[in-house]
Amino acid sequence: MRSEEVKRGVERAPHRALLKALGVTDEDLDKPFIAVVNSYSEIVPGHIHLKRLADLVKLGVVSAGGVPFEVNTIAICDGIAMGHAGMHYSLPSREVIADSVELVVEAHRFDGVVLITNCDKITPGMLMAAARINIPSIVLTGGPMPSGSYKGQRIGVASMFEAVGRYKRGELTLEELKSMESAACPGAGSCNGLFTANTMACVTEALGMSLPGCATAQACSAKKERIAVETGRLAVRIVEEEIRPRDVMSEDAFRNAIAVDVALGGSTNTVLHLPAIAAEAGVKLSIDVFEEVSRSTPQLCTIVPGGSHTMEDLEEAGGIPAVLSELKSHLNLDAKAVYGTLRDSAARASVLRRDVIRPVSNPVRRHGSIAILKGTLAPEGSVIKLSGLRDENVVMEGPVRVFDGEELCMKAVMSGEIDEGDILVIRYEGPRGGPGMREMLSVTAAVSGMGLGEKVALLTDGRFSGATRGISIGHISPEAAEGGPISLLEDGDIVRISLPERRLDVLLPREELEERRKKWSWSPPGHAMKGYLKRYMNSVSSASSGAILRACVSSF
């Protein structure tokens, strides 16, 4: 055991003395030491209940013969950070989380790790750390929040972002808006739809890194508490059996995870996170694999924001084990999991609600929910979520309106300056240019709330939230701050979007683009000239490679 390095031999007497200050007994020194890495936070609704789950995990560790030590990492709520300067810090926090887990686990020579997480960047950050450290590890995701209810309808945080546009349109009074905001988020857990947090929980289970049923078990349910105890027990067993993250997170596992994502209609942010996790696991995962898997995998579910079902419905339908069972012909169920193989999960499951998980023979659509678009505007690729569209065969061509940043575009939307047929370009919001590749749910939700939905297209080198609907194309690479073609656009330039062809093109002669490139320059935004954002900006890679940090840091 790795912990022998801190607890064995005469020279380790000082170390044992410090451990005994924590309450460790002589008998405990013969047991595996398990880090329980908790991302509990009082500012994140998805994490407010994680203290209780950590206590149950520790109970499981002790009952299986291990010694648990609870340690912590940070968490940012994307919903609270959305639409203002705070969102610059969300994606960059993923790297801090991965680094902090690595530091505390490696420094103390733990034998195994339980990673307790729930929200957008925390789950991928912890999975990156697990792959990097590569000691026996298991993930416990905290579970979804129940839906709110307003006038007999289920609502959630996405409903509130759209309600802002409805209020501006005159469909809601200020009193109604206030009533909705008091009802939308009734308690602990990750937001009720298949946004990035719940998508990543489902992907984690599909990767084989969490227990069957973990992703959809409600945050404050007895089922989630039982899974927490069992997760603690299993953490000790995987140490004894030496099951490591890289044994589980193989190329087949990542393909399985993508297949489950596109079958569910999940968030496009997986196109950022899975390549970053794969890189830590030593697996090459290009964005082209997402297109390949999505082309061959049917979409089986229509979950908020791409439909009317919520995470409660997915749980009632049998959760991810039921999805694995239904999707088995498109998966490698022999892929290893922390508890055995994915086949062990699928074999015990059946679909309990066919309105929620459709059969492969009668899917929502014959292919998956994510499409990768390339072309002269996006040579390295861009991403759109097809499950957020009523018509997936959109072909749209027209002049663009260019905004250098989210705030300018949001101002135009809220001022009523946007018309049907507009193609809005929001640039300098990429990993480097933002910096931090902000999610722009506020813009897309306001557009939907004002009734423009699929009548307007939004293009960005930044990100659109997992709660986004409509013709929203993100991750355009190379980004504007790297001098990508999106940086050369001017108001009135003609852009063509063709989803059937998977193309995104600017209809300008190459010579004209080259002339503009000679005049192009970029200066980092003022808020990025100090602290962590400056370091991040100088080292982050393209969205097409997962926005990971480059090994060699350059400076301006």
Name the catalytic one among 294, 345, 442, 465.
465
CB neighbour class for 72 (10 Å; exposed up to 12, middle 13-18, buried from 19): middle
pLDDT for the residue 554: 40
Q: Identify the pLDDT of residue 390.
A: 78
Packing angle of the helix pair 270-280, 251-264 (nearest 10 deg):
170
Q: Are 498 and 376 in contact (CB under 8 A)?
A: no
CA distance 231 to 142: 12
- The whole-number pLDDT of residue 467 equals 62
User: What does the alpha-carbon distance between residue 335 and residue 312 come to, in Å, rounded to a whole number?
Assistant: 27
CA 72 to chain centre: 20
pLDDT for residue 466: 62
Q: What is the DSSP letter of 385?
A: E
pLDDT at residue 100, rounded to an integer = 98
* Integer angstrom CA distances of residue 82 from 41, 92, 190, 407, 427: 18, 14, 15, 12, 17
φ/ψ of residue 403, rounded to 5: -125, 125
Give the tokens for residue 383: 């991403």
CA 290 to centroid of chain Cα atoms: 15
pLDDT at 31: 98
Contact status, residue 428 vs residue 82, Cβ threshold 8 Å? no
Q: What is the pLDDT of residue 388?
A: 72
First-residue to last-residue Cα distance in the chain: 45
Phi, psi of 65 (to 5 degrees): 95, 20
> Which residues of the chain are under the pLDDT cut of 50?
552-556
465 is catalytic: yes
- Whole-number pLDDT of residue 116: 98
